[in-house]
Amino acid sequence: MSESAEATGSPVTKESGGRAARRWRVPVHWRPLVIAALLVLACSAPFQLVPFRVFQFTMVLIYAVALLGLNLLVGHAGQISLGHGAFFAVGAYSAAIMLHAWDAPYPATLPVAAAVAFTLGLALGVPAVRLRGLYLALVTMAIAIFLGPLLKRFESVTGGPMGLTLAKPEPPAWTGLAEDQWLYFLTLAVAVVAFLVTGSLLRSRVGRALHAIRDDQAAAEVMGVRLSFYKTLSFAWSAMLAGIAGCLYTWVIGYVSPDSFGVTLSITLLAGLVVGGLGSFWGPLLGGLFVMFVPSISQSVNDAAPGVVFGLLIIAVMYVAPTGLAGLAGRAAYSIKKTLRKE
């Protein structure tokens, strides 16, 4: 019964499917064209922008990968995490230590960072199975609070408060790319793979089980969904994506320190996801744009402005678009389509 309920869908998953059906989505036959157009735009961007802008969009992609994992946990599995910055830091430091202490090749750091973050997420997911809501949020936030002092204590490995300075990956001569362009394309490639794999996962039986847990845990359990198994794995997968983003961060920035991964990062990531759109395919990307550009633009106005502007924009978006920017765009497109049909 368990396997059939998960494979064919259940009354629990139909509720979430009904809500999804009321949202406007890009028609199926348009999706390849839309994705192709976005990829062409993304590939041409580093040749049209100045290096600093290329760096900013590279960071947007990094944050999007981290938010993709957080979206899997919060938006699709219905769990909560205020410690995602810790998984981001674990991935960043795993790559940094390998590069600094062992002079490892850059490609080797990515799977190791992913594996270490996955293991930590799996370990956290086991006790998290018994926690919900505020209690789970406090436990995950405690991880983020605890990690900073821990990294400072092991100075011989992590560099302590001063952190570690690293060389960035150099572009191969045959590419003819500048360093910023090369890092951008590396990050873009990883981000595209992450989005494709996560999208396939959510369309599978696993995705239906996560949505069932999100909508009603008691009903999901009655229908045969193994709550502990899927909730634990959702933490592990989410942490793995954050660890991958952290590894990319190390490549792009070339420097890591404990102060870069405080509790503020975890809160900012969660806020960015809420603004982008929980449970939406485009939410992580829109959230990455929000996390990167809003503080940057507001800081150019006043040094004290980023926090104020960030908070006010979150309030404004939640008032105007409770489902985030992705939901707002979807409703606008649906309204236009409805108007055109009437005409």
Q: What is the pLDDT of residue 8?
A: 37
180 vs 335, residue with greater confidence: 180
Give 255's strand partners.
165
Which range marks the domain in which residue 210 is found?
5-342
* pLDDT, average across residues 11-34: 51
Q: Which residues contact 92 (CB under 8 A, 6 or more apart)?
A: 113, 246, 247, 249, 250, 256, 260, 261
State pLDDT tens for residues 153-183.
999 899 999 999 999 999 999 999 999 999 9
* Measured distance CA(10)–CA(169) in Å, rounded: 48
Is the pLDDT score of 74 beyond 60?
Answer: yes
What would the two tokens of residue 311 be? 């908070």
Tokens of 3: 């396997």
Lowest-confidence region among 217-221, 248-252, 329-333 = 329-333
Q: Reply yes or no on whether the pLDDT at 35 is more than 90.
A: no
User: 57 pLDDT band (50/70/90 cuts)?
Assistant: very high
C-alpha triplet 189, 190, 196: angle, nearest 5°: 90
| Contact status, residue 193 vs residue 61, Cβ threshold 8 Å | no
Distance, CA of 343 to CA of 319 (rounded, Å): 31
What is the pLDDT at residue 12? 37
Alpha-carbon torsion (93, 110, 126, 206), positive or negative:
positive
* Residue whose C-alpha is closest to residue 69's, from 314, 266, 215: 266
Q: Give me Rg for the CA atoms of the chain.
A: 20
Contacts of 220 by beta carbon, 8 Å cutoff, 6+ apart: 10, 12, 209, 212, 213, 227
User: What pLDDT, in 10s, does the model give residues 102-124?
Assistant: 999 999 999 999 999 999 999 88
Domain count, the chain: 1
Q: In whole angstroms, what is the distance from residue 291 CA to residue 269 CA?
A: 7
Residue 155 to residues 143, 152, 257, 272, 286, Cα–Cα distance (Å)? 19, 6, 11, 32, 37
Question: Could you tell me the two tokens for 120?
Answer: 């930590």
